[in-house]
Structure 1
Amino acid sequence: MHRVEHLTETQERVLRCIRHAIADRGEAPTVREIGEAVGMRIGSVHYQLVELETKQAIVRTPGPARGIRLA
């Protein structure tokens, strides 16, 4: 598995949520599901996803609700 360096604790929690959802259900969680799982508002989740994408931890596909892939 690809290990991304320099993630904040919050980014680690969001990334862990995404990894678990993909492993358990075979698909990424929605932004709302991530927020519920880690106790964040939707806007904060969007911000963290942008940061994770910038740090190349994830790749997002514009459009689909579950368009998150692990990098």
Structure 2
Amino acid sequence: MRRKLEYLSARQEAILSCIRREIVERGEAPTVREIARTVGLSSTSSVAYQLRELEKRGVISRDGRRPRSVSLGR
């Protein structure tokens, strides 16, 4: 059974797009600071919150013990 994708906010879409682009272009995920700079946020805690929300929805997965540990999907 295919899981229904939930609605993502514009900010979450921008963050997801940034992650996808960096993985395709550089072969690794961006850091939280790089994501903040790209999407125009001044607070890294705002990015961390959005990453947690994307992880809860199953859009990304992360290993909190490593930098650049974001991967798409679960």
Give the TM-score normalised by the residue count of structure 2: 0.88
Taking CA–CA contacts closer than 8 Å with sequence separation of 6 or more, which of the two structures ends up with the larger relative contact order? 1
Matching of residue 8 in structure 1 with residue 9 in structure 2: yes
Which sits farther off after the overlay, 35-44 or 3-12?
3-12
Instruction: State the identity %.
Output: 48
Q: 1:54 aligns with which of 45, 53, 56?
A: 56
Q: Any unmatched runs of 5+ in structure 2? A: none
1:35: how far off?
Answer: 0.3
Count of residues in Structure 1 that have an aligned counterpart in Structure 2: 69
Which amino acid in the other structure matches residue 8 of structure 1?
Answer: S
- Aligned twin of 1:34: 35
Q: Which has the larger radius of gyration?
A: 2
Distance of 1:10 and 1:55 partners within structure 2:
15
- Aligned twin of 1:63: 65
Instruction: Tell me the C-alpha RMSD between the 2 structures.
Output: 1.3
Give the TM-score normalised by the residue count of structure 1: 0.91
1:16-70 deviation digits (Å, cap 9, x = unpaired)? 0000000000000000000010011101000000000011100001211101000
Which amino acid in the other structure matches residue 71 of structure 2?
Answer: R
Which amino acid in the other structure matches residue 9 of structure 1?
Answer: A
